[in-house]
Structure 1
Amino acid sequence: MPFTPFHFGPALLFGVPLRRRLDFVTFLIANVIVDSRATLVFFDVLSGRIHGPLHTYLGATLLAGVLAGGVIVCARWRPAVMDRISSRPGSVGAVLLASVTGTWLHVTLDSILYTDIQPFAPLSINPLYGTTSMLSIYAGCVFALGLGVVASLPTLHNWLNETN
């Protein structure tokens, strides 16, 4: 997507109800970290296609492993911080699930929109491209953001009360 924040909509919509099964903060990060390389290409720090290897399921899975490892190390290194921001601090399974599903959700959404993405690389195919319109994806992401914000209000309220 041209604006990575669009990915926060589906992340919130799916992440809030699944927060007991996956680490919510990791899931949010996983949904946007896939665009880290694309951002560097966009700003001419790196060269190549905007949607490169991280926009494949294989690349996203490897990135998910790196993200999960980083979160798990942070949870061990700074448990007090992770206890405050994480829905499942220290749960390796919840962090792995959040990392993989978040990165894969990103790849899936972008695969529908862009011709240069090859989600099943090394195969040069993208059967997801054009399965729905760009407007539908963007509108769906904005709608998901609204629903996700509404769904997260009780959780946010409880979290704020716990920190005071």
Structure 2
Amino acid sequence: MPFTPFHMGTGIFIKAILQTSFSLMVFGWSQIVMDIQPLRVLVQGHGHLHGFSHTFVGGSLLAILAALSGKYLSEVGLLIIGISKKSQPIKISWRVAFLSAFVGCYSHVVLDGIMHGDVQPFYPFSLINPMLNLISVVNLHKFCIYTGLFGAGIFYFILWRKARV
């Protein structure tokens, strides 16, 4: 899957459903953290493209890193883009940060596991990828786009309903 943007569709949908119990910023940060290792391989021209970072064990470790760093980065980011105010800053709870990071990293492993033949999601326990080609790449991209659009629709519908009350 091309870097990160397609992965955001599932995050937008989950954000629409869970609202303040989920951080789209931390989820997005976890997508970036997951793709640092493949980016390094592409830049250097050698290595296993979807290596340890694209396993559930590696994803778990990266989710912890993404939650610990993403909580603070997201709070600052919300201030910078003006969603949060210095007088009333939005604080992301640790529970929300960890939930968002783990959902982000695990969904990343699943989505890339469906698409890429070199992903070994259950390594070191198994080298088999039972997710590979569960659906076509075209349908996987459609799934990511449609869940993002549907999630955005739900999110803005809820926002509109709250504004009317």
- TM-score, normalization by structure 2: 0.79
Within the candidate set 91, 94, 97, 1:89 is matched to: 91
Contact 2:59 2:109 in 1 (8 A): yes
Contact 1:53 1:59 in 2 (8 A): yes
- TM-score, normalization by structure 1: 0.79
Q: 1:12 to 1:73 in 2, by over 3 A?
A: closer
Size of the aligned set, in residue pairs, is: 156
Q: Tell which deviates more after alignment, 136-145 or 108-117.
A: 136-145
Query: Per-residue deviation at 1:156?
Result: 7.3
Superposition pairs of residues 118-133 of structure 1, within 5 angstroms: 118-122=120-124, 123-133=126-136
- 1:105-163 deviation digits (Å, cap 9, x = unpaired): 011011011110000111211111111111110111121222233233357789xx9xx
Q: State percent identity of aligned pairs.
A: 27
* 2:10 is aligned with 1:10: yes
Instruction: State the one-letter code of the partner of 2:11.
Output: A
In structure 1, C-alpha distance between the alignment counterparts of 2:51 and 2:74, rounded to whole Å: 30
Contact 1:56 1:121 in 2 (8 A): yes
Superposition pairs of residues 1-164 of structure 1, within 5 angstroms: 1-44=1-44, 47-74=46-73, 81=79, 84=84, 89-122=91-124, 123-153=126-156
In structure 1, C-alpha distance between the alignment counterparts of 2:110 and 2:118, rounded to whole Å: 13
Structure 1: unaligned runs, 5 residues or longer: none
In structure 2, C-alpha distance between the alignment counterparts of 1:12 and 1:75, rounded to whole Å: 16
C-alpha RMSD of matched pairs (Å): 3.0
Q: 1:119 to 1:93 in 2, by over 3 A?
A: same
Contact 1:118 1:124 in 2 (8 A): yes
